[in-house]
């Protein structure tokens, strides 16, 4: 189809014609941007239309490939250089400095403008880089549901969406400090004990607590969780608030006559009802015990949630929810 379009653009459907005009490597922005933006009520010529299609293609390029250039290496060893990242992302459009101050109307496929309907090309690229090439890599354009894509877009791209207030920053710091402190204590207290720690992904704890807080605000009363070994004790201690004496008692060393490898504590779960301090509402938290075939717990979690919904009369599924955490590629790899 593309070959046919290259020979005769009129031979394909107009929608494909517009798509190929935006994605074709022959689109060169400098030659088109000279026409400037489209004034209200003005009749747009083909050059202006092509220029806006090229900008739309640039925006989509960041949404599709921006995560590849995200600065996610804290040591900066594997992070891509800024100019190299821009060339990798914007493949189909040639951008020159003289065109960066040209104002373009923003398409409905982006929320980077907020209340503004048009922005200079320089500001468009700056905002896209800040959203997709900063310290969070987001890959979502493969999702088939347009509503889900727009839901993610809006929460990522809206100006100020990723900024936290001072109170939220302090709460985040307190939660991640408790997460790190718990792992550090276990590492120092039981140096030779077999552990499945959360080192490197301590942010999981604030993330899970934020999900539970927000869910509680929206009316959820029960959360059932299924997860692998890694980080389980931290989740039990800091998310479910299982008494520490019950967790630490299980670290008593094995005797010569004992069976097993000493990792029983990483298979056990809990069931606790407590007050959520962030929302002042009661919440029931449950972590399902799992076998060595870790992902076998997932259907059990879903079954428990379905049973809770049935006995609560929760026909809309708004009072009980599940949280499934997967280690590595185990969810797909174990055939559950």
Residue 25: pLDDT band (50, 70, 90) is very low
Choose among 193, 268, 274: nearest CA to 238: 274
Cα 132 from Cα 168, distance rounded (Å): 23
Residue 49: pLDDT band (50, 70, 90) is confident
Q: Residue 27: what pLDDT?
A: 42
pLDDT tens, 99-111? 788 888 899 899 9
Query: Residue 47 forms beta bridges with which residues?
Result: none
Q: Residue 30: what pLDDT?
A: 43
Averaged pLDDT for residues 243-247: 86
pLDDT tens, 31-42? 344 445 544 444
Strand ranges (E), the chain: 103-105, 118-120, 222-226, 270-276, 281-287, 320-324
| Residues whose CB is less than 8 angstroms from the CB of residue 330 and which lie 6 or more positions away in sequence, other chains included | 228, 294, 295
Alpha-carbon distances, residue 215 vs 143, 284, 294, 330 (angstroms): 23, 12, 26, 26
Checking if the pLDDT of 121 tops 60, the result is yes
Alpha-carbon distances, residue 327 vs 35, 126, 174, 231, 336 (angstroms): 52, 35, 25, 10, 14
What does the CA dihedral 152, 153, 154, 157 come to, rounded to 10 degrees?
A: 130
Question: Parallel, antiparallel, or unpaired for β 270-276 and 281-287?
Answer: antiparallel
Cα 35 from Cα 29, distance rounded (Å): 10
Q: Residue 264: what pLDDT?
A: 67
- Percent of residues, the chain, with pLDDT higher than 90: 32
Please state, rounded to an integer, the average pLDDT across all residues of the chain: 82
Cα 177 from Cα 106, distance rounded (Å): 41
- The token duo for 268 is 């056990």
Cα 98 from Cα 78, distance rounded (Å): 32
Q: Residue 143: what pLDDT?
A: 92
Cα 118 from Cα 104, distance rounded (Å): 5
Task: Specify the pTM.
Answer: 0.71
Cα 9 from Cα 17, distance rounded (Å): 6
DSSP 2-24: HHHHHH-GGGS-HHHHHHHHHH-
Averaged pLDDT for residues 321-329: 79
Residue 210: pLDDT band (50, 70, 90) is very high
Checking if the pLDDT of 252 tops 80, the result is no
| Residues whose CB is less than 8 angstroms from the CB of residue 125 and which lie 6 or more positions away in sequence, other chains included | 58, 86, 95, 100
């Amino acid at each position: 189809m593309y070959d046919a379009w290259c020979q005769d653009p009129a031979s394909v459907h107009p929608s494909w014609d517009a798509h190929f005009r935006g994605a074709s490597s022959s689109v060169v922005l400098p030659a088109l941007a000279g026409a400037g933006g489209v004034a209200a009520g003005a009749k747009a010529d083909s050059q202006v239309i092509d220029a806006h299609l090229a900008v739309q293609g640039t925006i989509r390029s960041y949404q599709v490939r921006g995560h590849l250039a995200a600065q996610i290496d804290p040591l900066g060893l594997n992070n891509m250089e800024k100019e190299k990242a821009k060339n990798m992302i914007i493949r189909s459009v040639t951008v020159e400095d003289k065109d960066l101050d040209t104002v373009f109307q923003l398409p409905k496929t982006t929320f980077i403008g907020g209340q503004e309907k048009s922005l200079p090309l320089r500001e468009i690229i700056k905002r896209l880089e800040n959203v997709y090439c900063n310290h969070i890599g987001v890959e979502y354009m493969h999702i088939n549901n347009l509503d889900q894509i727009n839901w993610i877009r809006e929460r990522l791209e809206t100006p100020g969406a990723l900024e936290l207030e001072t109170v939220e920053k302090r709460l985040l710091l307190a939660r991640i400090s408790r997460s790190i402190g718990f792992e550090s204590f276990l590492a120092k207290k039981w140096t030779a004990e077999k552990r499945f720690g959360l080192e490197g992904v301590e942010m999981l704890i604030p993330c899970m607590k934020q999900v539970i807080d927000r869910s509680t605000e929206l009316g959820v009363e029960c959360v059932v969780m299924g997860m692998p070994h890694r980080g389980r004790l931290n989740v039990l201690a800091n998310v479910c608030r299982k008494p520490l004496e019950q967790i630490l008692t299980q670290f008593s060393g094995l005797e010569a006559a004992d069976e097993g490898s000493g990792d029983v504590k990483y298979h056990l779960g809990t069931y606790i009802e407590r007050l959520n301090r962030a929302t002042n509402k009661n919440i029931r938290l449950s972590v399902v015990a799992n076998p060595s075939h870790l992902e076998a717990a997932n259907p059990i979690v879903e079954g428990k949630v379905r049973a809770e919904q049935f006995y609560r009369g929760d026909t809309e599924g708004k009072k009980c929810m599940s949280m499934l955490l997967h280690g590595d590629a185990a969810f797909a790899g174990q055939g559950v």
